Homo-oligomer: A and B are copies of this chain.
Amino acid sequence: MTTSTTEKKAIRVVVWGENRHEQVNAVVRGIYPDGMHSTIAEGITRLLGDDVTVTTRVLDDPEHGMTEELLAQTDVLLWWGHTAHEEVSDEVVDRIQKHVLEGMGIIVLHSGHHSKIFRRLMGTTCSLRWRNDNDGELIWTVSPRHPIAEGVPQPLVIPGQEMYGEFFDIPEPDELIFISSFSGGEVFRSGITYRRGYGKVFYFSPGDEIFPVYHHPDVQRVIANGVKWAHSERARESYLITPMYVSGEFDRPVLTSPEGLVDYYTRELIAPRETAD
């Protein structure tokens, strides 16, 4: 048993909400008076306390709130969207993808399965079966020692929920953590992870806007676990440009330029054109 005093950087979390249903649907507004994103953010703060700093952004913010400045300071981004996926600009999707590939964690929630950013990271349609008929959902853990499943009851019970069912058109998950069943008898791979570049991706399906799912303490637990899992303490790193290597100089990447080979990091000329070819 050792006692240690550690300086730990808080995980910087941004919860992105589409925030449209809240404007037009009284039921949704009744459940989430400050928007779904606020409830999701509060759940994370309640469970992780000083280990996190949590802010929120919405679709109607300038650049949808997803500025280069904010993303560069974000460890884990959560994404909830549904009715307005097509309004998210491609430029912002490019930017988020770049940050994920460089090391930012991302947690995609519920109907975010059809968001531009999730489809971009997956390469598939991400389509699924569905029925919005107040099904009960049971979420079963199939990877009991995975950190995302820690403290989650077997099963996690959601009394009323939209059904999401198979076939779910996704790439083979790196890890399958949760499988859900619904009152209608359908099943769904409801908690799955992927690595994309240097970043981690967690998709978690519960959360239709007309049910109070994000007030559910066990759902909040899964999301908080996901935040801890998806975040990396290592610095953002770019691999967008393909570096060339000189034989035997394993740690010294170079780039070709009109003048010849340049150092990958300093961009200084290290071998003029005639020797480079």
Given the known interface contacts A103-B145, A138-B185, the answer about A133 and B247 at a Cβ–Cβ threshold of 8 Å is yes
B residues within 8 A CB of A142?
Answer: 166-168, 189
Known: A127-B243, A138-B250. 8 other contacts (CB 8 A): A122-B123, A130-B244, A131-B246, A133-B247, A140-B187, A143-B195, A171-B195, A183-B247
Q: A residues bordering B, Cβ < 8 Å?
A: 1-10, 50-51, 97, 101, 103, 114, 120-125, 127-131, 133, 135-136, 138, 140-145, 150, 153-155, 157, 163, 165-169, 171-172, 174, 176, 179-187, 189, 194-198, 200, 232, 234, 239-248, 250-251, 253
- A244, B131: Cβ atoms closer than 8 Å: yes
- B194, A166: Cβ atoms closer than 8 Å: no
- B127, A239: Cβ atoms closer than 8 Å: yes
- A101, B124: Cβ atoms closer than 8 Å: yes
- B239, A125: Cβ atoms closer than 8 Å: yes
Q: Which of B101, B165, B167, B234 contacts A169 (CB 8 A)?
A: B101
CA distance A181 to B242 in the complex (A): 19
CA distance A138 to B1 in the complex (A): 38
- The smallest C-beta distance from A174 to any residue of chain B, in angstroms, reads 5
Q: Which of B8, B127, B168, B184 contacts A247 (CB 8 A)?
A: B184
- A253, B5: Cβ atoms closer than 8 Å: no
- A253, B129: Cβ atoms closer than 8 Å: yes
- B129, A243: Cβ atoms closer than 8 Å: yes
Going nearest first, the 7 A-B pairs with the smallest beta carbon separation are A181-B181, A121-B123, A2-B50, A127-B242, A179-B187, A184-B247, A138-B185
- The smallest C-beta distance from A147 to any residue of chain B, in angstroms, reads 10
A-B contact pairs, 23 of them (CB 8 A): A2-B8, A2-B10, A2-B51, A3-B7, A4-B8, A6-B6, A114-B242, A123-B123, A123-B196, A125-B239, A127-B239, A129-B243, A131-B245, A136-B185, A138-B187, A140-B167, A143-B195, A169-B197, A171-B194, A179-B187, A181-B185, A184-B247, A185-B248
